[in-house]
Amino acid sequence: MKPIKFSSLRTFSIIFFVLLAFFGLAFHTGTGTLSAFGYSTISAICPLGSIETLIASKTFIPAVFISLAVFLLISILFGRIFCGWMCPVPLFRKWFPKTASTQKISSKAVEEVPAKENLVASSKKIDTSYFVLGGALGSTFLFGFPVFCLICPVGLTFAVIVSVWRLIQFNEPTWSLMVFPAVLALELIFFRFTCRKFCPLGALISLMSRVNLFFKPTIDTKSCLKASKGVDCSVCKDACHEEIDLHEPLTLQTLSRCTKCKDCSEACPMQAISFSFFKSKR
């Protein structure tokens, strides 16, 4: 039997969380959306939303602290798994492919060395998203309400679903049906690299994922073409949406942005990349 591809598994996982929202719409379960979902008084709250409410209301909310602690625990175990396996944005990202589509190992790749050096340099530098995160939190503190929630692509995706559902169920035509998808499309087109360069939620989860201990991507230096034979291969880096180059010495900064999507290990022609539970020898 052919093994199921991880990219399809990821799509199933994302669709599962979208279906949770539909479940909450169809039945009065109070399931909620990814902004906060749960059952009865227990809920898993979006970490950025949690921090924003704490800052905006300037009060201590125990349930929010517990939820943040649980999220940190998940980060220790799985790192930035939310961005790869739960957030619906990667589904849209398929429609906006990366600029220089996947490069194959060929002579063509050698010609593009200068461009690649640029990319290497850009993957080293600090990401803009951390500053957007700072701006969002500062603005939230100043104005007294969760600011990023207004344009959060995750929230807007579910807002569109809820609005369409209510249009059908209760005949509620609103401008929301036009405005929310438009803002969403704007974000995804103008910030083609929303996840890597802009999203403060991703930035926050990356910061939390610095404590991640398990499931780190590692290269088997014996089978990797670049490490063992010196072939100019960058298939794994090209496959990575965060442009992490596993051949470079990995810092906490770059590795914490890994969303465990396994695109790299699937792309590798030698199957040299593994996500093992335990720490690597590296």
Q: Looking only at residues 121 through 160 of this chain, which bind other proteins when binding is defined by CB under 8 A? A: 121-122, 124-129, 131-132, 134-136, 138-140, 142-151, 155, 158-159
Q: For residues 246-265, which are near other proteins according to CB under 8 A?
A: 253
DSSP run (H or E) holding 81: helix 81-85
What is the per-residue binding string for other proteins in 3-32, x denoting contact by CB under 8 A? Answer: ------------------x--xx--xxxxx
DSSP run (H or E) holding 274: strand 273-276
Tokens encoding 1? 């039997």
Q: Which is nearer to other proteins, 12 or 145 (CB)?
A: 145
Q: For residues 33-62, which are near other proteins according to CB under 8 A?
A: 33, 35-38, 40-41, 43, 45-46, 49-50, 52-53, 56-58, 61
Q: For residues 158-187, which are near other proteins according to CB under 8 A?
A: 158-159, 162-163, 166, 170, 172, 174-176, 179-180
In eight-state DSSP terms, residue 99 is S
Q: For residues 60-99, which are near other proteins according to CB under 8 A?
A: 61, 63-64, 67
Q: Does 198 bind other proteins (CB under 8 A)?
A: yes
**Contact of 260 with 79, CB cutoff 8 Å:** yes
User: Minimum distance from CB of 11 to other proteins (Å)?
Assistant: 23
- Alpha carbon distances (Å) from 213 to 59, 77, 88, 141, 209: 32, 6, 25, 32, 9
> Residue 255 CA to chain centroid, in angstroms?
13
Three-class SS state of 259: coil
First to last CA, the chain: 33
Q: Does 102 bind other proteins (CB under 8 A)?
A: no
Q: Which is nearer to other proteins, 152 or 224 (CB)?
A: 152
Which residue shows structure tokens 């125990």? 62
